[in-house]
Structure 1
Amino acid sequence: MPFQTIAATGTTYALIALDADGKERNDDPDAAGGQPGRLSDRLLAQWRDGPAPTDIFLWSHGWQGDIPAARSQYDRWIGAFSACAVDEQEMRTLRPGFAPAHIGVHWPSLPWGDEEMGDTASFAPPAHAGKDAMIDAYAQRLGDTPQVRDALAVIVEAARTGADATRLPPEVRQAYVQLDQALALGAGGTDGDAGADRLPFDPDASFAEASQLGAAFGAPSLGGILAPLRQLSFWTMKKRAQAVGEQDVHALINRLLDTLPDARVHLMGHSFGCIVMSAALGGPGGTAALRRPVDSCVLVQGAMSLWAYAPSIPVRPDSAGYCHRLLPDGKLHGPLVVTRSRHDTAVCELYPWAAGVAGQVAFDAATTYPTFGAIGAFGIQGVDTAADIAMLDIDGGYTMPGARVLNVEASAYICHKSGVSGAHNDISGPQVAHLIWQAAQASAAEAP
């Protein structure tokens, strides 16, 4: 069902599904006229003709492969937000008549493909996962073209027959080079966009580095012949996150602002969802107009470059991050809030490996920042107006100036580890929910 009710709180949210190209799916079963249509059309018509929300909270998950996984995350995340009774009462004091509405965005975004590897410690696929099934799974993830399938056939066959390989066979290396070319990800370095802020792809280095990282992830599953495939999957999902944000999420925000001129819009992204929301502010090409500024934006454990918002990247002063125009162009009325945690293995250790940087898996943010690193590990850097603060408990009060970056050190609360990603998905605690409330309240307090 396109409308979900969270059992614990009774909160309802709309779940809008987009395809891999960033276009909203035309499969709302209850669209006007009895024909399938877009859920957003029905939602906007309902709000235009009936009681309208005063505040719309738009949420984007990170790597969740299907709608049930997205529902599960939104039930926990939005549920924790809705359970903050004290924060809600404070908002009602600031905004009499406060009536919130929630929209969760689902987009196909599973990068790693652990599901076809089974529960064994070995990187060899289980017997029931045949060659064709694995090719189909990765082709669906990467783009089902003949060039992609041809390369995958070579790679998957080698992985099934050479699970203990200590180096890439020449024909596999060439297949990876062909696959990288077919995916057209780009390698723009620190000033590349979300799908290209990496070094040129080197399958041999990816293979070797992933094997060294195995211990840090609690299992050797990153190693083996398929390791470079996981790296390419990661960058494909980053590129997709940008397309999703620039296309219909950006358009949806503008439609909300047009249809409900008195409503405030608040953005929340997690992991790759931080790319979605940043790209949604920028629109196509990163410079498209918004009808009016968005009221707050919270990026939780983002898997995007720490230099993405920098007008001049220190390690490359003649270049700027892909999102560097968003704040100067006035896309945001309220604060831009970012969380970071040292317990998040996915962004602290996996992200630099995925960027293709050998050895850049451990940095002390108090003394230096890497060329390639994630905001979930280091916050947004290279922005003069950025401020840093520790995450507060649920009764703490934040100072959040409008249109400013606030990096929140959250290791004390985003700390519960699960699997190879560490604390990456520990985002539904009350302290994170309180932070999102505080960002929304800050924009309300500054309203004329």
Structure 2
Amino acid sequence: MQFPYAEVEIESTGAIHDDAQRRNALGLVAASGATDVLVLCHGWNNDIPQARRLYQRLTDNLAAVRPAVPGAASRTLAVVGALWPSIRWSDEDEVAGGGVGVEDEAAALIGAIATRIEDPARASLLTRLVPRLAESADARQRFLDALREQLPSAPPEPATDAASVDEDPPPPALLDGDEETVFQAMGGPEFDAGLPERTGGAADVGAGGAGEVAGGAADVSFGGAVGMAGGGAAGFGFDLDGVLAKARGVLNVTTYYTMKDRAGKVGSGGIATLLAGLAGAPQGVRLHLAGHSFGARALAAAAARHQRLHSYTLLQGAFSHHAFAVNFNGRGENGMFRTVLADRRLTGPMLVTHTVNDRAVGLAYAAASRLARQAGAGLGDANDPYGGIGRNGALKTPEAVQPGAELLDVGGGYQFQPGRVHNLRADRFVSSHGDVSGRQVAYALYCAIASQ
């Protein structure tokens, strides 16, 4: 690590695991004399080493681009990495497009259960049901019911003002629909609408493998084989291959809402506590937040409870594109985290990387939209009430600067404005949901940190 660095582990309940880590982080910032502190928060992963590798790659690139960042020479940076027990929610193997045998699909589903389900008894039950899913409606219902038991029963954190609501609740069908309704929503050719395959060409893709947090070109889509043969609106067609693919989609969409709940607790609990301590640093440091995937949502929950930040960067955020919106539904209701902008807590810019290459976020919301029985023509895109900020940017948000802004190459001229949202289309440089540690991303982040 090329900057002064400390870590703080946060439990699934939102509590800081060891307060000595928090005190160590505060001491490091004070001793370093830093003018700026960057708090990093990872998204989907399975273990701490993967999160650390993301932080290492991103901060290495921050150091590499620093000479090109206007104003960076006059500021010094310390980094605090938040670590929390998130669960991987995009499949590790690229199976979309078919050609996968029954045994391979069954193995992929069983492997996904092992990595996504933390309760051993529930994981064992789901695994035992896999061989019966194609032939038994009862097995499919039991599979669905077991996954439903881990869904949150209430919003992950209370709204911060009377007009703000949870703009992305679990669709009613996911909570109480029958097994055929839920399984059928996980497939069909509609999932390809507006969700193209990766175009490639991304620069500085992370060096990790397909299962890494920054999976690079090997990163794959939410739900894997969600559009494989054996399903869709024309007929359910319970061939084994199709059902197992759909079961993986059901597993993924329930994992999404479980992690959404946990990210809210982590942010509004441990990270908010950490920020309060950092804000009291003797030298009056400027605070910056940068989160990937669910980590971006955890930081939104923290920012909603903190009074003053300089910058907030969402790297392929895995939450609603209406999270910061005004009157997103035509009923006068605002997004859950509207207060972050409405209360003028940002003294610098908010950056949002978004791309159609992020099939993970796109398909997660496509599944939610199907379950909510929205029109299928624009599944997951900007016209879908269920749409992700990592795919479409922050929508219906008055502070958003003009559309059309892009993530630039190193040395590009950003004109970041205080208190404004800069949606940066990242199609050229971000190839997938996990590809967030490249130099172009680091350059935009450092420009936000150094902005006046």
Secondary structure of 2:279 counterpart: helix
Aligned pairs, number: 389
Instruction: State yes or no: 1:25 paired with 2:17.
Output: yes
After superposition, where does 1:252-271 map in structure 2 within 5 Å? 252-260=274-282, 262-271=284-293
1:30 is matched with: none
Q: Tell me which amino acid in the other structure corresponds to 1:395.
A: G
CA displacement at 1:327 relative to structure 2: 1.0
Secondary structure of 1:240 counterpart: helix
Instruction: State yes or no: 1:247 paired with 2:260.
Output: no
CA displacement at 1:301 relative to structure 2: 0.9
After superposition, where does 1:267-306 map in structure 2 within 5 Å? 267-283=289-305, 290=306, 292-306=307-321
Secondary structure of 1:338 counterpart: strand
Distance change in 2, residues 1:18/1:351 (3 Å): same
Q: Tell me which amino acid in the other structure corresponds to 1:300.
A: L
Secondary structure of 1:332 counterpart: coil
**Cα distance in 1, alignment partners of residues 389 and 224 from structure 2:** 25
**Cα distance in 2, alignment partners of residues 25 and 431 from structure 1:** 34
After superposition, where does 1:17-96 map in structure 2 within 5 Å? 17-26=9-18, 38-48=20-30, 50-88=31-69, 90-92=71-73, 96=74
After superposition, where does 1:266-415 map in structure 2 within 5 Å? 266-283=288-305, 290=306, 292-313=307-328, 315-354=329-368, 356-357=371-372, 363=378, 369-387=383-401, 388=403, 389-415=405-431
Residue 167 of structure 2 contacts residue 336 of structure 2 at CA under 8 Å; is this kept in 1? yes
Residue 87 of structure 2 contacts residue 116 of structure 2 at CA under 8 Å; is this kept in 1? no
**Cα distance in 2, alignment partners of residues 194 and 41 from structure 1:** 35
Give ranges in structure 1 of 5+ residues lacking alignment.
Answer: 27-36, 284-289, 416-422
1:162 is matched with: 132
**Cα distance in 2, alignment partners of residues 308 and 24 from structure 1:** 25
**Cα distance in 1, alignment partners of residues 390 and 415 from structure 2:** 21
**Cα distance in 1, alignment partners of residues 67 and 377 from structure 2:** 39
Distance change in 2, residues 1:316/1:296 (3 Å): same
After superposition, where does 1:180-219 map in structure 2 within 5 Å? 180-186=148-154, 192-193=165-166, 196=169, 198-201=171-174, 202=177, 203-212=179-188, 217=221
Structure 1 stretches of 4+ with a deviation exceeding 6 A read 115-118, 133-136, 213-216, 359-362
Residue 394 of structure 1 contacts residue 434 of structure 1 at CA under 8 Å; is this kept in 2? yes
CA shift digits 1:184-228 (9 cap, x unpaired): 34489x975387354441443342233337887595377143432
Fraction of identical pairs, as percent: 25
Give ranges in structure 2 of 5+ residues lacking alignment.
Answer: 157-162, 198-220, 227-243
CA displacement at 1:319 relative to structure 2: 2.0
CA shift digits 1:22-45 (9 cap, x unpaired): 22222xxxxxxxxxx521212213
Residue 116 of structure 1 contacts residue 125 of structure 1 at CA under 8 Å; is this kept in 2? no
**Cα distance in 1, alignment partners of residues 180 and 60 from structure 2:** 44
CA displacement at 1:126 relative to structure 2: 7.4
Distance change in 2, residues 1:405/1:219 (3 Å): closer
Question: What is the TM-score when the length of structure 1 is the normalising length?
Answer: 0.76
Distance change in 2, residues 1:113/1:19 (3 Å): farther
Could you tell which deviates more after superposition, 56-65 or 176-185?
Answer: 176-185
Q: Tell me which amino acid in the other structure corresponds to 2:34.
A: P
After superposition, where does 1:123-162 map in structure 2 within 5 Å? 123-125=105-107, 138-140=116-118, 149=121, 154-159=125-130, 161-162=131-132
CA shift digits 1:380-423 (9 cap, x unpaired): 011123113122221211112211111111111113xxxxxxx1
**Cα distance in 2, alignment partners of residues 270 and 362 from structure 1:** 28
Distance change in 2, residues 1:269/1:438 (3 Å): same
Instruction: State yes or no: 1:233 paired with 2:255.
Output: yes
Higher relative contact order (Cα pairs below 8 Å, separated by 6+ residues)? 2
